[in-house]
A and B are shown apart, each in its own frame.
Chain A
């Protein structure tokens, strides 16, 4: 890519890749205990990952620091929830064939829903670097933990 991508450009990118399963089908692998990840592409401006979900796998609330992103669902379904203080999260479910985007300022969590394992394609621009993980204490206090992207996309089990 020659520049950092906007959210519509990211959405177009993940939708195009979702329509070309021959480029990633061989990397699909589901594990009951955790999500699995594979990096499909990386350049100066965008990083693209394949993520496989099942059994209600859940990212927890997080942000992407400076990166915008887009997610295309190719199989199964995932639920995206935006954090709302003092209220129920703003939630939507994306099913196979659907996509959604988020900006650097958005705080969300993504989880697997339904009985069928899910496969999603994620693009981040600029490539993910640091992230914030949010912990909501029983008192309602919100805590932010600074993480490298490895905690999300190269977790210890990977």
Chain B
């Protein structure tokens, strides 16, 4: 059971080149003093290509004691939502680039939502993807779940997990700082996706294993309020859902541990966006469970 980080981002060289060549967002633009990332809903941000240097990242993985690193597509870029002919070359560059890096890295697969079909899932898994990553908004209601239903069905048939990650922020005021979307729309999107899964998704896909990034925006911690409003609060005991701890620390993780139990948590760091969470205070047995035992259960086919 290798020590596994289920949530990092790494943009291979080929993806960086394609993003730099795009005429509109999402794209990279060169400035006098470096690169800037332009996203549709967020203020342009400085972009440090060194954060995606695979040699440096492999060293960091070793330093962090990681033996397996699952690399997720950066869903906030909004690539999955582009017209399929724009999205596919970017996604192909991502998958191929991460696969070429080899161990400890392996990609989560990603599909252009406009053309999401079961055979795309087969192709990704056959290529070596750990599972499929979808933006939360693609699951955040009954209609959305119907739309991706056939894709999820195939994923479940193959015994591979779904990774739910925040997607692009809605267009906002350019004056808002970079911490705004991760603390507002990303959290709300993950909570909506988790609630939709509780209400409709799980019934439709009883066997599908689901990994929620960023503790699903701490949605399970809202279970008392959900029950008070007659919602599906028993979803906190769904034993085919796991929550990655990325961007949270001992307070939120401890609270989640209390609600969903230690078997439901997995290590995710969100590198290079965030550093691995400092969880030593939770004890060795918790670390062992979330870094080794639980990821092995997620990835067993």
- Using CB atoms and an 8 Å cutoff, list the residues of chain A in contact with chain B: 39, 42-44, 47, 127, 129, 147-151, 154-156, 158
CB of A150 within 8 A of CB of B236, answer no
- Using CB atoms and an 8 Å cutoff, list the residues of chain B in contact with chain A: 223, 233-234, 236-237, 254, 257-258, 261-263, 282-286, 288-289, 293
Q: In the complex, what residues of A have CB within 8 A of residue B261's CB? A: 39, 42, 47, 127
Q: In the complex, what residues of B have CB within 8 A of residue A150's CB? A: 257, 262, 282-283, 285-286, 289
CB of B237 within 8 A of CB of A156, answer no
Q: Please give me the residue from chain B that is nearest to A41 by CB atom.
A: B237
CB of B257 within 8 A of CB of A151, answer no
Instruction: Describe A's contact surface by its main secondary structure.
Output: loop
| Cα-based distance from A149 to B262 in the complex (angstroms) | 9
What is the distance, in angstroms, from B32's C-beta to the closest C-beta of chain A?
A: 51
What is the distance, in angstroms, from B55's C-beta to the closest C-beta of chain A?
A: 32
CB of B237 within 8 A of CB of A148, answer no
| Cα-based distance from A154 to B287 in the complex (angstroms) | 11
Which of B254, B257, B283 has most chain A Cβ within 10 Å? B283
What is the distance, in angstroms, from B287's C-beta to the closest C-beta of chain A?
A: 9
Given A44-B236, A150-B285, does the pair A158, B258 have CB atoms closer than 8 Å? no
CB of B285 within 8 A of CB of A148, answer yes
Q: In the complex, what residues of A have CB within 8 A of residue B254's CB? A: 148
Which of B261, B282, B284, B286 has most chain A Cβ within 10 Å? B261
Q: Please give me the residue from chain A that is nearest to B262 by CB atom.
A: A150
Q: In the complex, what residues of A have CB within 8 A of residue B236's CB? A: 44
Q: Which of B237, B258, B263 contacts A154 (CB 8 A)?
A: B263
Q: In the complex, what residues of A have CB within 8 A of residue B263's CB? A: 39, 154
| Cα-based distance from A154 to B282 in the complex (angstroms) | 13
Which 3 pairs, one residue from A and one from B, show the smallest C-beta to C-beta distance? A150-B285, A151-B285, A150-B262
| Cα-based distance from A156 to B293 in the complex (angstroms) | 9
Q: Which of B223, B237, B285 contacts A42 (CB 8 A)?
A: B237
CB of B285 within 8 A of CB of A44, answer no
| Cα-based distance from A47 to B263 in the complex (angstroms) | 13
| Cα-based distance from A44 to B286 in the complex (angstroms) | 20
Q: In the complex, what residues of A have CB within 8 A of residue B234's CB? A: 43
| Cα-based distance from A149 to B263 in the complex (angstroms) | 11
Q: In the complex, what residues of A have CB within 8 A of residue B233's CB? A: 44
CB of A129 within 8 A of CB of B285, answer no
| Cα-based distance from A147 to B237 in the complex (angstroms) | 23
What are some 21 contacts across the A-B interface (CB < 8 A)?
A42-B237, A43-B234, A43-B237, A44-B236, A127-B261, A129-B257, A129-B258, A147-B285, A148-B254, A148-B282, A148-B286, A149-B262, A150-B282, A150-B283, A150-B289, A154-B262, A154-B286, A154-B288, A154-B289, A155-B285, A156-B285
Q: Please give me the residue from chain A that is nearest to B286 by CB atom.
A: A150
CB of B293 within 8 A of CB of A148, answer no
Q: In the complex, what residues of B have CB within 8 A of residue A127's CB? A: 258, 261
Which of A127, A129, A147, A150 has most chain B Cβ within 10 Å? A150
| Cα-based distance from A147 to B233 in the complex (angstroms) | 28
Q: In the complex, what residues of A have CB within 8 A of residue B289's CB? A: 150, 154
Q: In the complex, what residues of B have CB within 8 A of residue A148's CB? A: 254, 257, 262, 282-283, 285-286
What is the distance, in angstroms, from B267's C-beta to the closest C-beta of chain A?
A: 14
What is the distance, in angstroms, from B253's C-beta to the closest C-beta of chain A?
A: 10
CB of A44 within 8 A of CB of B223, answer yes
| Cα-based distance from A42 to B264 in the complex (angstroms) | 12
| Cα-based distance from A149 to B293 in the complex (angstroms) | 16
| Cα-based distance from A156 to B291 in the complex (angstroms) | 11
What is the distance, in angstroms, from B220's C-beta to the closest C-beta of chain A?
A: 11
What is the distance, in angstroms, from B230's C-beta to the closest C-beta of chain A?
A: 14
What is the distance, in angstroms, from B260's C-beta to the closest C-beta of chain A?
A: 9
Q: In the complex, what residues of A have CB within 8 A of residue B283's CB? A: 147-148, 150-151
Q: Please give me the residue from chain B that is nearest to A157 by CB atom.
A: B288
Which of A39, A148, A151 has most chain B Cβ within 10 Å? A148
| Cα-based distance from A85 to B258 in the complex (angstroms) | 32
